[in-house]
Amino acid sequence: MKALVTGATGFIGNALCKHLSAHGHQVMRAVRRDATLSGDILFSQIDGATDWAEALTGCDAVVHLAARVHVMDDTAQDPLALYQATNTDATLNLARQAAQTGVKRFVYVSSIKVNGEGRDTPYRETDAAAPEGAYAISKWEAEQGLQRIAADTGLEVVILRPPLVYGPGVKANFQQLLRMVERGWPLPLGAIRNRRSFLYLGNFVDAIRLCIEHPAAAGQTFLLDDGQAVSTPELIRALSHAMGRPARLLAVPVKVLELAGTLLGKRAAVARLTGSLYVDSSAIRTRLGWTPPNTLQQGLAATVADWQTRARPDS
């Protein structure tokens, strides 16, 4: 199968292209820089007016990863418009051209934030969408537009809503957590009793490949995870174990953490550490027969091994 992958040089895209190629698929990489491989197509901008004709020629499937990612404390005057330009308008423009070109399947990587920011029960595909914030709204609007395009053209749309994705090369908050655990910092998180889902990069790209290949994936929306929700302290203990270091957890009451977060202007960050956000991923397992090839513990071990061997910032 010939597949076009957007966002191909990113954390997920790079791993996906290698995974698809290893399974015999021909990969076309849509990139905005570093067009170094055969089949790379360089785009200066991806928006609602991008011409995808060259990239889509002869393609059987599209995996759309390119997006304006969630920005904490966004200071843009109109953040929703910026997110919509990339995450909504650009997505629907690509899908329309894919349908016109004869592409059969369109796999869209959305976000669990379309379901919401977390709750004490697991999210399922059948739940009503409850996006909060510009990023999640733009993703939800793209999903709705894709459903309309699918109904009008017959394009086989598959929507995936992952939680936090981690793995070798992970950055942002997960990288910061790795750094703190490695340095043995005492963390005041021992009293937290939440549940959170995570998705290992190797599991994610395997699920994406299956959604390209499997006939029953057409028209479906799937929530994904490693199959095991853990608390924040359990995650830290697992990372500490993989590093061969003791977990230094202090049992500070959650109410105290929440108060500190409010006073320091870090309420959202504290909420992510203390709150629950987990998914029921049984639908993709039942309908497509998918089983994550890696457990959470295996994924964390691989992530830690990469973190300990590659060059990383001192700060």
Q: Is the pLDDT of residue 251 over 50?
A: yes
pLDDT at 44: 78
Spatial contact of 312 and 174, defined as CB atoms under 8 Å apart: no
- What are the structure tokens assigned to 54, written together? 């060259």
Q: Is the pLDDT of residue 167 over 80?
A: yes
Higher per-residue confidence, 286 vs 47: 286
pLDDT at 71: 60
pLDDT at 73: 54
> For the ranges 154-168, 220-234, 242-256, 298-312, which has the lowest average pLDDT?
298-312
- What are the structure tokens assigned to 46, written together? 């991806």
Sorting pLDDT into bands at 50, 70 and 90, what band is 33? Answer: low
pLDDT at 74: 56
For residues 192 and 44, what is the distance between their CA atoms, to the nearest angstrom?
45
Indicate the SS3 state at residue 4: strand
Q: What is the mean pLDDT of residues 116-143?
A: 95
| Cα distance from N-terminal residue to C-terminal residue, the chain | 43
Phi/psi at 161 (nearest 5 deg)? -120, 95
Q: pLDDT tens for residues 70-128?
A: 665 556 667 889 999 999 999 999 999 999 999 999 999 999 999 999 999 999 999 99
Q: Is the pLDDT of residue 311 over 70?
A: no
The domains of the chain are located at: 2-161
The superfamily (CATH) of domain 2-161 is NAD(P)-binding Rossmann-like Domain (3.40.50.720)
Nearest CA-CA partner of 3 in 21, 15, 94: 21
Sorting pLDDT into bands at 50, 70 and 90, what band is 268? Answer: confident
**Percentage above 90 pLDDT, the chain:** 83
pLDDT at 41: 86
Spatial contact of 272 and 189, defined as CB atoms under 8 Å apart: no
Residue 122 is which amino acid? Answer: P
Q: Is the pLDDT of residue 234 over 80?
A: yes
Q: Is the pLDDT of residue 6 over 60?
A: yes
pLDDT at 40: 84
Model's pTM, two decimal places?
A: 0.93
Indicate the SS3 state at residue 301: helix
Catalytic residue, chosen from 108, 135, 200, 278, is: 135
Indicate the SS3 state at residue 197: coil
Say if residue 56 is exposed, middle or buried (CB neighbours under 10 Å; 0-12, 13-18, 19+): buried
Q: Can you spell out the DSSP letters for 124-170?
A: -TTSPP---HHHHHHHHHHHHHHHHHHHHH--EEEEEE--EEE-TT-
Q: Is the pLDDT of residue 65 over 70?
A: yes
State how far the alpha carbon of 263 is from the alpha carbons of 173, 199, 223, in Å: 21, 32, 35
pLDDT at 315: 42
Across the chain, what does the average pLDDT equal? Answer: 92
Q: Is the pLDDT of residue 148 over 70?
A: yes
Is 123 an active-site residue?
A: no
